[in-house]
Amino acid sequence: MLQYLIRLDDLCPTNNLPKWERFFNLFDRYGIKPIIAVIPANKDPKLKACGNFNPYYWQLVRELQDKNYVIGMHGFDHYYINHNSGLLKMNNRSEFAGLPLQTQKEKIRKAAEIFRRENINPTVFIAPAHTFDRNTLLALHEYTNIKIISDGLLKSPYVRFGFNWVPVQLSEVEQKTKYTWTFNYHPETCPPQAFAELEIFIEKNHHLFVSLDNLDFSNYTWADAVAEKYCIYKRLARDYAQKAIAFMERIPAGN
């Protein structure tokens, strides 16, 4: 079976809204219900610089929820405070991974309070930079009703640590033949060419996009652990190779 999902990251009060609306209009045209990573209390300076403050931010989030878009808790403030790569080793920056359990509980508690205050019911957790650890999951279990983690590197959804995991493997559309694939876009930085390719892909494949309710989850096995480790170390090796090439290119000829 082949099925696709799509996730948009970094919805916050200072978004450049036209960049987001092009995605919303495309999804609505084909009845696709994306996962939206909503930041409750943004402190990320890069995101603050994207556009003017939107006083109707939470109204927008409620409107997306009313359209049955999947609302995800995208951390608390999206501010990276360490270089811990967490469970998945995907990035070396984190809002959560490596912090004491009590600190993480406080972040999740505050995020959950904001969503409740705004009548928003997030059903998915999305860690900024894909970095989180077991303490993050313990905090989610204590302070939220969230049972789905939008992350992981396998080819199909699975159950692990008491949560349903929906892997997020691709940053742009790519034609596949089987399994479940999540495309992860950042509207603020998505170039026109990438959006044009997404538009063409959805026009041809919109019937293969599913909602979270359509997914089946299998138990995480030792074979999955091996496959995930392979994906992690393959990614790390590629990143180190790219950094090495970039370093060599900076060395003047003859040295």
Per-position DSSP letters for 166-182, written without gaps between them: ----BSS----SSEEEE
How far is the C-alpha of 174 from the C-alpha of 249, rounded, in Å?
30
> Looking at residue 231, what is its pLDDT?
85
> Looking at residue 243, what is its pLDDT?
67
Say which residue, 24 or 89, is predicted with more confidence: 24
Q: Tell which CATH classification among 1.10.760.10, 3.20.20.370, 3.40.50.12780, 3.40.50.720 matches the domain 2-220.
A: 3.20.20.370
User: Pairing mode, if any, of strands 163-165 and 158-160?
Assistant: antiparallel
> Looking at residue 230, what is its pLDDT?
87
Going by pLDDT thresholds of 50, 70 and 90, the confidence category of residue 175 is: very high
> Looking at residue 232, what is its pLDDT?
81
Residue-wise pLDDT tens digits, 115-141: 999 999 999 999 999 999 999 999 999
> Looking at residue 64, what is its pLDDT?
98
How far is the C-alpha of 133 from the C-alpha of 169, rounded, in Å?
19
How far is the C-alpha of 92 from the C-alpha of 117, rounded, in Å?
33
How far is the C-alpha of 170 from the C-alpha of 187, rounded, in Å?
15
State the pTM of this model.
Answer: 0.92
**H and E: helices and strands count for the chain:** 7, 9
